[in-house]
A and B are shown apart, each in its own frame.
Chain A
Amino acid sequence: MKKSSLPVRTAAVFGLLVLAFGAMLALNVRTGSLSIAPEQVFRILLHGGSDGTPAGNVIWKIRLPRLLAAAVLGGALSVSGFLLQAFFRNPIAGPYVLGISSGAKMLVGVTMVFVLRHFAGMPFWAVMAASFAGSLLVTGFVLLFARRVRSMSVLLVIGIMVGSICTAVTDFFITFADEANVANLHSWSMGSFSAVSWQNLRIVSAVILVSLWGAFLLSKPISAYQLGENYARSMGVNVKAFRVALIALSSLLSASVTALSGPISFVGVAVPHMSKLLFGTAKPAVIIPGSFLLGGVFCMGCDLIARTAFSPSELAISTVTAVFGAPVVIALMLGRQRGRDHG
């Protein structure tokens, strides 16, 4: 029966994902404008830090932080998307699609413009805080309109509109910012894993891992919530607290990503959907860790393409994720439409 084959499939897919994750790490760390032999990569990694050689510097100061950022942030975005989908009970929800990333970007941008006018720099925790506040702000806004919307397309439209408003506000403030800061802001707001420092990566990773654990602890109520708010409540879910936790965690996750690398498109929608197809289930206890791994693989792959496709020029990461992610969104909408026609 189907029941007995499920754990086998789950284990097999997890095994595959771990392998793919490892392969992506290996591939990414040795690919780039400076080609480094595998055994040398290995030696440098074992060294535990840059050994002073150019290859060592490239690996430890450029490739590794960027690579790990792609892995962790990709995972975080995916889980954030999954949590939003659970919240809205709508597979089209995601931090980028709903304009939440744009909201984070707006608040970071606005804060930066003001802070940089008076101070030399903006500490990373402040960027994080602004990003989180922006995420919450937009989520609240979307909720205001979309609380009772079950239709995917309406939610999508609301998200796009809210996102556009945020982008407009960001642009408005950038117009009045100093030239030097604009360049900084602009490259950040395009979305990139390139400017990642070890220290910031550590902060963000810590936040993400804690949130991930929190999300995993929510997997039981998330699955109950799939049957609807009232059924969930009747089974003992504290719906109010649960909803607050969902929003807080998904905002923390996506805000961390936006703070470190700017908005990245479509990962949050595409990866959870692909994981569900891979695992053949939507059980949160499987999909949360599964999406994290797959999100890491997906973003490392996209970053590899962003770095190498038109080397030496680099693509923005969102350019690549959109190419792979947007079709998934379209497929989702069409699939749902077809399902409705049949039902």
Chain B
Amino acid sequence: MADEYIFSAAGLAVGYRGRAVLRDIDVRLRRGQILTLIGPNGAGKSTILKTVTRQLSAIAGTVYIGREELSGLGQAALAKTMAVVLTERVQPEMMTCYDVAAMGRYPYTGRFGTLSAADHAIVRAALRRVRAEEIAGQDFTRVSDGQRQRVLLARALCQEPEILILDEPTSFLDIRHKIDLLDILLEESRSRRLTVILSLHEIDLAEKISDLVMCVTGEGVTRVGTPEEVFSDDAIAALYGLDSGSYLVKRGSVELARVEGAPQVFVVGGAGCGLPHYRALQKRRLPFAAGILFENDLEFEVARALAAKVISQTAFTPISVQAVRAARETLLQCRAVLDAGAPKGPLNAANDALVALAQAHGIKVIHHAEELD
């Protein structure tokens, strides 16, 4: 049932001047799916996108649009099927945002590009869908980056494509505009079954918007799969060659490298209360230990990423004697204990005992990292 797939690449190799950068790309998309390319800079995300938009010709393999080969499509037919939002800076002379969006009607207008009433209606609708109606009359070069990107998206939508391709559409955008843009894409793909292929730098956002994710590294396409299949802490670390910092999939957060060394501070945390203290200690470049944390605790992943040592307890089980012993040993090596002020209950009474132990041994008990300065 090949025609179920609106876009497919089979054995595709892409590159420049006959030299393949990436080989054996196989991916198939159904109507309305979103495919996101992630990976480090220079890995070849743009090369793939340029190849599927025919800015570059494929080194090997075939791209199919529906059942037709991409290379066999006429230029006008392709323009009605596929639209693009590129990274290059667009600086048209004396064009309003409306004019730029209306340019998307190019494949549909006559010899002189005169817009019919129906064309105008489509342009207005596209501007409304990208929430750019109010800037329609403004000069395109004078609006903000976020607005400009939305107008370029409206231009692409005016082409009434079945497939939309965007090369790093969220670069240069602030967080609000990133969310707006991706939200529009998600809406278009769900309500109009627009198929979207894009590359993103923000792995956390990629996970949230994609139906399929393609990890692209310099050595070749490593994986294609659903976000659930592709995203694991290790896979992301490997993809980007993270050996210092880390990326926590469950939290969608990026963490800096941990400060290595013998722990100097023991953080008694829990229920997320330790989070600000881990960051504060990390910024002071102090190696620290954290414990005793249940493994389902809000802060457990971060502690694991940042603490030199973590003493943890399997989720939903009482704190074991071994854990308490390990915590005591580590704590007695530290010069301070930071009580994060986590809520107390019968299951974490051992943590209270740790603070008491510190006081008994004359180890300073603090509540903020500043007290160490």
Q: Contact residues of A with B, CB < 8 Å? A: 1-3, 89, 91, 217, 219-220, 223-224, 226-228, 230-231, 233-238, 276, 280-282, 285, 339, 343
Contact = CB atoms under 8 A, between A and B. Distances in A.
Given A3-B98, A281-B94, A230 B84 contact: yes
A141 B95 CA distance: 31
Nearest to B87: A230
A227 B90 contact: yes
Contacts of A235: 79, 103-104, 106-107, 159
Given A220-B111, A223-B113, A276 B106 contact: no
Given A230-B55, A235-B79, A235-B159, A282 B86 contact: no
A224 B141 contact: no
A228 B79 CA distance: 15
B1 interface: no
A285 B84 contact: no
Interface string B92-107: 1111101010011011
B302 to A, nearest CB: 40
Contacts of B111: 217, 220
Interface in B71-100: 75-76, 78-79, 82-84, 86, 88, 90-96, 98, 100
A236 B106 contact: yes
Contacts of B93: 91, 226, 276, 282
A231 B84 contact: yes
B326 to A, nearest CB: 59
Nearest to A222: B113
Interface in B36-94: 53-55, 75-76, 78-79, 82-84, 86, 88, 90-94
A227 B137 contact: no
7 contacts: A1-B137, A219-B112, A226-B93, A226-B95, A230-B55, A282-B94, A343-B141
Contacts of B55: 230, 233
B53 A227 contact: no
Given A234-B53, A234-B84, A227 B94 contact: no
Interface of B: 53-55, 75-76, 78-79, 82-84, 86, 88, 90-96, 98, 100, 103-104, 106-107, 109, 111-113, 137, 141-142, 155, 159
Given A235-B103, A235-B104, A226 B92 contact: yes
B106 A224 contact: yes
Given A2-B137, A224-B106, A236-B78, 7 more contacts: A3-B137, A230-B86, A234-B53, A234-B83, A237-B106, A276-B94, A285-B112
Most chain-A Cβ atoms within 10 A of its Cβ — which of B93, B100, B103? Answer: B93
Most chain-B Cβ atoms within 10 A of its Cβ — which of A89, A217, A224, A227? Answer: A227
A236 B76 contact: yes
A224 B96 CA distance: 14
Contacts of A281: 94
B94 to A, nearest CB: 4
A258 B15 CA distance: 45
A33 B72 CA distance: 68
B113 to A, nearest CB: 4
Nearest to A343: B141
A219 B111 CA distance: 9
B122 to A, nearest CB: 14
Nearest to A227: B90
A2 B55 CA distance: 36
A276 B139 CA distance: 14
A234 B98 contact: no
A12 B84 CA distance: 37
Contacts of B113: 219-220, 223-224, 285
Contacts of A343: 141-142
A280 B95 CA distance: 10
A236 B83 CA distance: 10
A90 B36 CA distance: 35
Contacts of A217: 111
Contacts of B155: 227
Contacts of B98: 3
Contacts of A285: 112-113
A124 B247 CA distance: 74
Contacts of B83: 234
Contact of A2 (B53, B96, B159): B96
A219 B112 CA distance: 7
B109 A220 contact: yes
Contacts of B91: 89
